[in-house]
Amino acid sequence: MEKNKELLDLLEKAKEASHKAYAPYSGFKVGAAILTDKGTLFTGCNVENSSYSLSNCAERTAIFKMVSAGERVIAKLAVYVENDMLFPPCGACRQVIHEFGRDVEIVYASKKDIKFTTIKNLLPESFSLND
């Protein structure tokens, strides 16, 4: 139960981050929060662009902040979408998450639902040059 409490606390940080999202095109405000292996917290939100391919997901925003601060290992990740539907991290985010943690515990939630999982479950038979 303590494990889930840590993830639920992290989910609250992701929910706070979702309020900062720039999502004028999709309307999906997403927030992410990372806890590193050193216990450091990083948050991120999605940032859209009128040239859709230049948008960035909340998960990758948080990860890039983590890396730019000099950390390299994700222990736990929470993702919150301000919507009724539940959305797991996209394929690109799954690959980036895996790059920085092979055993990442993940919680993702919407206004109505919540799911606990791991990166191993979300990205089986993952690609890596380091394995």
Q: Kind of pairing, strands 41-45 and 105-109?
A: unpaired
The number of beta carbons lying within 10 Å of the beta carbon of residue 7 is: 22
- Choosing from 48, 59, 99, 105, which is the catalytic residue? 59
**71 is an active site residue:** no
Distance of CA 79 to the CA centre of its chain: 5
Rounded CA gap, 41 and 25, in Å?
A: 28
Catalytic residues: 59
